[in-house]
Structure 1
């Protein structure tokens, strides 16, 4: 039997918890400064934290060990992350966290669609039903009457 710490649901739930805290902390953090500066500060903190984790876990490895393909896609992922963070912080500055965060979570819907389109992944009818529920739920949570 696997330990729960070595199973993906454990880490996915932690990711969701930290993403929720990100929204709450960021909403307060962007109150009196520009959203782009807030994103910059957040990025510095992430870089320092990851550098510390890599050092503590002896996870550093030479860039030469990363394939060209991996490097290209990691760079693209970094650019997409940066764009996402900039847009997210701007949205938090302009809207309520309880409205912005659910719309941001439509990324789950986009991941499902993109995974099918670009990665050749297959989703069953029940999976697509779940994707539709996620989309509907995000919109309903964000809707303000």
Structure 2
């Protein structure tokens, strides 16, 4: 099932870029990010309360809180920079650079999480990086 979720994530990430580029025209990128974030907060908490997951808040440890907050800060900074980039550049050029985070994630998952590289992940990561540079080549 995780593969379906990953494909849906990719689809909605692509739509995010296109819809944001249309919606950000003439709007400060930080304001646009704040509006987007507000929508995400309402949607996320709506789902949490609808499915009853809010009862799990008490079970969160200090470790959970620390890393979820750090992840949230990283996400917020990513969105702020992403919106600034698409406000100033072409989505078709910004998106590949943004998606090069896949290669960075592979490296960090190896260093921080101890996940192993396979020949497939090395090749895929290399192709992603090569594709990013190819997209940027004028």
Task: Answer yes or no: same fold by TM over 0.5.
Answer: yes
The yes-or-no answer on 1:53 pairing with 2:47 is yes
Q: How many residues align?
A: 138
Aligned-pair CA distance for 1:129: 1.1
Supply the distance in 2 between the matched residues of 1:108 and 1:52 (Cα, whole angstroms): 29
Match of 2:33 among 32, 39, 52: 39
Match of 1:4 in 2: none
Match of 2:96 in 1: 102
Match of 1:116 in 2: 110
Match of 1:11 in 2: 5
Match of 1:93 in 2: 87
The yes-or-no answer on 1:25 pairing with 2:19 is yes
What is the DSSP-based 3-state SS (H/G/I as helix, E as strand, rest coil) of the residue aligned with 1:115?
Answer: helix
Match of 1:66 in 2: 60
Q: Structure 2: any 5+ residue segments left out of the alignment?
A: none
Supply the distance in 1 between the matched residues of 2:23 and 2:137 (Cα, whole angstroms): 23
Match of 1:82 in 2: 76
Aligned-pair CA distance for 1:139: 2.4
Aligned-pair CA distance for 1:144: 5.1
Aligned CA-pair RMSD: 1.1
- The structure with the largest helix share of the pair is 2
Check 1:144–1:29 CA distance in 2 against 1; reply closer, same or farther (3 A cut): farther
Supply the distance in 2 between the matched residues of 1:43 and 1:21 (Cα, whole angstroms): 16
Supply the distance in 2 between the matched residues of 1:115 and 1:61 (Cα, whole angstroms): 30
Supply the distance in 1 between the matched residues of 2:82 and 2:2 (Cα, whole angstroms): 26
